[in-house]
Amino acid sequence: MVSGGHEEGVVTDAPGGRVDTAPAPTGDASPPRPGPPLGAALTVGVVALALALAIGVALASHHGPLVPWTITVIGGLLAVGASVGWLTLPANPLLRHLAVAGVAGLLLLLFSDHVSAFSDFQIAQVAYYVPAAAGLTLLVGWNGQLSLGHGALMAIGAYTVAVLMAHNPTFPVIALILAAVVVTGLAGAVIGVAAARLRGPYLAGATLALAVALPELATRYSGTLGGAQGLPVRPLGVPTWLSETFPAERWLAWVGIVSGLVVLVLLANLMRSGIGRRLRTVRDDEVAASLAGVNVARTQVMAFVVSAACAGLAGALYGFATSLANPAAFSLILSLSLVTAIVIGGLGSLAGAVLGATALVFVPRLTTNVSNRFKLDTSVKGNLPLAVYGLLLVLAMLTFPDGIVGGLRRLARFVTPRHRSPPAGSAGTAPSTSAPAATAPTTSAAAATAPAGDVQGPPAG
Amino acid sequence: MTAPFGRRGLTRLAAGIAVVTVAASACSSSSKSSSGGSSGSSASSGSTAASEPNKASAPGITADTITIGSHQPLTGIAAPGYSEIAPSANAYFQWVNDHGGVNGRKIVYKYEDDAYNPANTTAVVRKQVLEDQVFAIFTGLGTATHLAVRDFLNTNKIPDLFVASGCLCWADAAKYPYTFGSQTDYTIEGKIQGQFIDKTYAGKKIGYFYQNDDFGQDGLKGLDSQISASSVVTKQPYTVTNINVGPQIAALQQAGAQVVVSYSVPPFTALALLAAQKLNYHPQWVVSNVGADPTTLTGMLSSYSKGAAGGSLLEGNVSDSYLPPPDDVGNPWIQLFRQVHDKYVPTLPFDGNVQFGMTFAYTFVQTMLAAGKNPTRQSVVDALQKSHFTGPGLVPFRFSPTDHGGYSGEQMNQLTNGKIQTIGPPQVTDGGSGPITPYTTAQPAPPPNGIPTS
């Protein structure tokens, strides 16, 4: 890990625009400052030690729950350490995001190598929801445009892969995935132009129509798109440099982990950049944004394109995991589940998107286990996951309006002693990089539900 | 003034929408009750008198259990009717377990809901295979849903027995050696119906009403091979997502079709009959087996018309089946299945779905017995390829080393005075250009305790 050399420690979790040098019109809530950070050199040492321990345990033991648990604990400790500010992360956003993603990726790959093939498949499932949820949280949380049609955009990604594959079976996987990203991004541009003219419920209605109507094209053009039966997607073949007994599910998980992390790093950087600030400006006040010289429509279309491209990647991964592009798989329920996921995870937060995607995979599994345990009726069992999402959503709205991430942050604030310095500087002019990270929340409405935008540790699983 | 649609507003709107969806989906669930799992508490068998002891011969098989899995639409659009299949199969397995099991092994049947969504199917089946370590997947239901797991099952060499779908795609033994079909495929059905129509309604104008997917198109392939093109006046497709079939029925009426062949699932058969009644259009209906079950249709007709119409609209309709009519109380197989039904799943209506579940549960027990005292996944495949099982079906299976298609034919029937009357002997054929021949071997009686012996 490379340190940015900030001895006094910059804000780590809400990767806080504080290192930005340009003025940030809106601010992020910053985590509490619980005591002195370790410093860059020590952080590198601690992380290196943690990774060495994880690798050591992984190499020494092949079976049993020891390795997954060790890695979960190590990952959890590192994540907590980073989010409460003990660890000193590089100040440069790109370096910081790469470092976090690198550590998280390494731990995840180790983790996936020591769990059952089914757990690997679940990781792959989380990994195909992550880009879609992350893209959606950018659009909704950072740009204020609600899309209820992201499931349909995922369908475009999956169908792009399926159609290209049928056309030419020798296309490499990476080309198929990139094609899905590009095609869905283009579709997002078209939809985004329309969406930029719509506000509030009208935008929600239009994207809802998209979620319902787009998968129907498959039955309308059943010749090319395979109708209700869908098009087959050849599952990812395990590359020859891996052993012959390497489970296909694990390879799927690896492809998913790498793609997911790449998307998260790109989005985290985007959010830290000038574009990210423009997105938030437009969200908070369109009039003020245009007075400040921000092209509102262009910014909104751009947000939609980025978000759609992420959904396209998710759709491609979804296609590989289910080996099928089928209209029934991209139902309205999927679109709404994605919205639910990002709200439960924490709207506007990439870590929240990851947590929400994890919930999408594990809540149904949990409820199925409960139903089996208590021998519940099928009609109860089948609907329990959705009922639980609904309940979680209501609870989140009542108690943690900022989702899991916001809730965790409140918890951290509650349990850690406060070393807060009074707000330095007025809102609207960001402190320079050398300022102690006294990042007081600004007074804007956004601060109340401010996002944390960083890549977080591995989902337990 | 902030944006008209701030973050909090968004969150609330999203939450509101999600809550509404949850409520809607909870209301649309099937109200059928079913019991999962196996009976468990019955007396253990000591009746196996073979020399070889029972071993844990394969994943999912222990000395005293055989664990199998399945994906079923227990909730969602396909649940009405189809959600009865797995509990009925499980009822027959309980019957077998209570009579000593299969070679002393009890069958544990774990079926899970996929809500007819292929994405759920992949997760459910992977969980059953990789985590629950089932021996085989049994009557996985649906074409699109099952296509999503066919590669996975065959790559992992998991027996994929009796897929509950009439797609031609399960017959491909060379490419998918572990997958076996169940019901007669739609092209064979179309051929047999087509021949019947060509003979019985010679000179009449014929129209098609069909589902615009593999089901309808495969059926039409068979029909067109038998009915002269000049007598077909119009072909009207429908898609399952549009429940307004009025235009198609009006077009059939306009074209003067006197016989309408309907390759439709039950809800659309009911919608078509109601639309025709509204137009005062009374052609002779010939309906595909999957969309003709009178018990299911009567319920739908009366519910869609708010009680204004009912089973009387079905009178005189022609269909076909590879199983004896469920209302044929004289048939010993129906008597057996009714007995099992009354004992274990008495709350389900005794209809074609229940019969289907039990038929293939019986066939599964036959398969396991034929696969040897200590079956393996390969020995099950070998046994099925060599099998010439007879039993609850009217026609033989096609299973061979080169063909994994299910039943090989159908018997025509007609609803007369509310009862299904068979017409002529069962007919068998292949999915290609082979001839259609009557199958005259009488259906054997079931074994005394209703459990196959070997």
What are the tens digits of pLDDT across the range B227-276? 999 999 999 999 877 889 999 999 999 999 999 999 998 889 999 999 99
Across all residues in chain B, what is the average pLDDT?
Answer: 87
Task: Choose one of B264, B288, B321: the last residue of a domain.
Answer: B321
Q: Are both B178 and B226 inside the same structural domain?
A: no
Residues B159 and B197 in one domain: no
- Phi, psi (rounded to 5 degrees) for B16: -60, -45
* Nearest-CA distance A50 → chain B (Å): 30
Between strands B136-138 and B160-163, the pairing is: parallel
Q: Is B410 a residue whose pLDDT tops 60?
A: yes
Task: Give tens-digit pLDDT for B287-334.
Answer: 999 899 898 899 889 988 898 888 889 999 999 999 999 989 999 999
Residues of the domain holding B360: 65-184+328-407
- Answer yes or no: do B209 and B317 share one domain: yes
CA distance A124 to A459: 11
Listed range (A258-262, A404-408, B328-332) with the worst mean pLDDT: A404-408
Q: Given a cut of 60, is residue B128 above it in pLDDT? A: yes
Q: Assess whether B194 and B317 both reside in one domain.
A: yes
Residue A72 confidence (pLDDT): 84
Chain A residues 101-120 within an 8 A CB cutoff of chain B: 116-118
Is residue B40 included in any domain, yes or no? no
In a domain, B421, yes or no: no
Residues 6+ apart with CB under 8 A from A120: A112, A247, A249, A250, A252, A253
Shared domain for B177 and B73, answered yes or no, is yes
* Residue of B127, B130, B150 to mutate for A, most A C-beta atoms under 10 A: B130
Query: Is B415 a member of any domain?
Result: no
Residue B65 and residue B103 in contact, taking contact as beta carbons nearer than 8 Å: no
Q: Are residues B197 and B315 in the same domain?
A: yes
In a domain, B429, yes or no: no
- Does residue B159 form part of some domain? yes
Annotate A146-188 with DSSP letters as a single string.
--S-HHHHHHHHHHHHHHHHHH-TT--HHHHHHHHHHHHHHHH
pLDDT at A92 (0 to 100): 83
B162 and B129 part of one domain: yes
Nearest Cα neighbor of A262 from A110, A130, A142, A72 is A130
Is residue B422 in some structural domain? no
The reply to whether B114 touches chain A by the CB within 8 Å rule is no
pLDDT at A431 over 90: no
CB neighbours (10 Å) of residue B195? Answer: 20
Identify the weakest region by mean pLDDT among A257-271, A447-461, B312-326.
A447-461
Give phi and psi for B99, each to the nearest 5: -105, 20
Last residue of a domain, one of B269, B304, B321: B321
| pTM for the full predicted model | 0.78
| Coil, strand or helix at A405 | helix
Render pLDDT for B96-114 as a digit per residue (tens, 0 to 9). 999 999 999 999 999 998 8
If asked whether residues B294 and B369 sit together in one domain, one would say no
Give CA–CA dist A275/A132, Å, rounded.
Answer: 20
CB within 8 A of B331, min separation 6: which ones?
B324, B325, B443
Q: How far is CA A443 from CA A187, A286, A426, B36, in A?
A: 37, 17, 10, 56
Among B3, B11, B22, whose Cβ lies nearest the Cβ of A286?
Answer: B3
pLDDT of residue B65: 95
Structure tokens, A344: 């439960």
Are B173 and B266 contained in the same domain? no
Residues with Cβ within 8 Å of B189's Cβ and at least 6 positions away in sequence, in order, are B166, B219, B222, B288, B289, B320, B410
Same domain, yes or no: B263 and B302: yes
What whole-number distance in Å separates Cα of residue A235 and Cα of residue B275?
44
- Contact at CB, A382 and B118, closer than 8 angstroms: no
Tokens of B156: 């992992």
Please report the pLDDT score of residue A339 as a whole number: 92
pLDDT in tens, A13-58: 343 333 333 333 333 444 444 456 677 777 788 888 888 888 877 7
Domain count across chain B = 2
Pair B194, B170 in one domain: no
Tell whether B259 and B348 lie within a shared domain.
no
Q: Where are the alpha helices (DSSP H) in B28-84?
A: 79-82
B43 within some domain: no
Of B8, B113, B214, the CB nearest to A378: B113
Highest mean pLDDT among A163-172, A214-223, B27-36: A163-172
Query: Domain containing B120 — which CATH number?
Result: 3.40.50.2300
CA atoms within 13 A on the CB side of B357: 29
Note whether A401 contacts B: Cβ–Cβ < 8 A: yes
Q: Would you state the pLDDT for residue B23?
A: 47
pLDDT per position as a tens digit, A307-338 = 999 999 999 999 998 888 888 888 888 899 89
Residue at a domain's end among B321, B351, B386:
B321
CB pairs under 8 A between A and B: 194
What is the predicted ipTM? 0.74
**Could you give phi then psi for residue B394, rounded to 5 degrees?**
-85, -20
In a domain, B362, yes or no: yes
Q: Please determine, for residue A62, whether its predicted confidence score (pLDDT) is greater than 80.
A: no
Strands (E) located in B89-243: 106-113, 136-138, 160-163, 179-181, 206-211, 232-238
Q: For residue A325, what are its two tokens? A: 């592009």
Paired with B110 in beta bridges are: B69
